[in-house]
A and B are shown apart, each in its own frame.
Chain A
């Protein structure tokens, strides 16, 4: 029989984070099954489904992570270019660069002293900014991207923890079931003897 104290099999854990349901930690399998009214198979089915849902969310978050990881070096490159232009400003000489106009085809450009740059904002919009404004905007975007990435990584960690808890719970319910079957098999033979 289920022994001991434990009032309920609830966990001291965050119940959900940004829409991701937390996995309930099971203190005692017997209590958990009685509480939820599940039998072993339905409990296993429920937990498996939860696992699938977690996997879906994980894929979505990982896609967002890849996006951000590509965006950040891009912004850093832009900052680099603006910084170079600003550095050249004082010297009075033009900056000569080779740039790609098509795959494998490059052209030469001579960039005079300039006070402004144009930034591509996306959605077919490009705006002209002064070098300082451009640097400030790019830095702000970089900081935002890095902050979003951090939140995303924390979300992913939380998610992985819930996946682990669910996997362990599945294993324990399964083991408990096997154990119960063994006990049931043992008792009929005890009655016979």
Chain B
């Protein structure tokens, strides 16, 4: 946080709580970005796996369960992959929603804090 040039603006407990909330939201925002990246990768991998499956001739596919690769018939693997894709896309959607909400709350707080402190506070990414 930037140090002001000896300004006299007092910081109330409410201001402090707003600043704390902004900090928490900012952290959550970064965590969400990472989580979204991971979920997207996982989704893409499942997509690729599904496509490979369609192309393959084999009847039995080695499907990873835990640390081992079990021999599973193709149809079952297809079903499993579909289910996993469902789960990841739902989770991805939820993450995006949360990200939007966090961003909205952050810009609201920015308005309030910049309104009171103007130049004495810096809420941008460094």
Instruction: Report A's interface with B, CB cutoff 8 A.
Output: 11-12, 25, 27-28, 77-78, 80-81, 84, 95-100, 106, 109, 157, 160-161, 164-165, 167-168, 171-172, 174-176, 178-179, 182
Q: Is the CB of A81 within 8 A of B13?
A: no
A152 to chain B, nearest CB (A): 14
Q: Please list the residues of chain B having a beta carbon within 8 angstroms of any beta carbon in chain A.
A: 1-8, 10-13, 16, 19-20, 23-24, 27, 62, 65-71, 120
- Return chain B residues, CB-CB under 8 Å to A80: 65-66
| Contact indicator A12/B69 (Cβ below 8 Å) | no
Q: Given A78-B66, A98-B68, A100-B67: A168 and B24 within 8 A (CB)?
A: no
Contact B68 A81 (CB under 8 A): yes
A164→B20 contact, CB < 8 A: yes
Asked whether, in the complex, the Cβ of A171 is within 8 Å of the Cβ of B4, the reply is yes
Cα of A25 to Cα of B68 in the assembled complex, Å: 54
* Residues of B contacting A182 in the complex (Cβ-Cβ under 8 angstroms): 6
CB–CB B69/A98 < 8 A? yes
Q: A160-B24, A175-B4, A178-B6 are in contact. Are A99 and B13 (CB under 8 A)?
A: no
Interchain CB contact (< 8 A) of B65 among A84, A96, A106, A161 = A84
Is there contact, CB below 8 Å, between A97 and B70? Answer: yes
Q: B10's contact among A12, A28, A99, A106, by CB below 8 Å, is which?
A: A28
Q: Which of B1, B6, B20, B67 contacts A179 (CB 8 A)?
A: B6
Choice from A97, A99, A109, A175 contacting B3 with Cβ under 8 Å = A175
Distance in angstroms from A185 CB to nearest chain B CB is 11
Q: Do residues A178 and B67 form an inter-chain contact, with CB atoms below 8 A?
A: no
Contact B1 A168 (CB under 8 A): yes
Which one of B7, B11, B20, B70 contacts A84 once the chains associate, using CB atoms below 8 Å? B70
Taken together as a complex, chains A and B put the C-alpha atoms of A80 and B67 apart, in Å, by 10
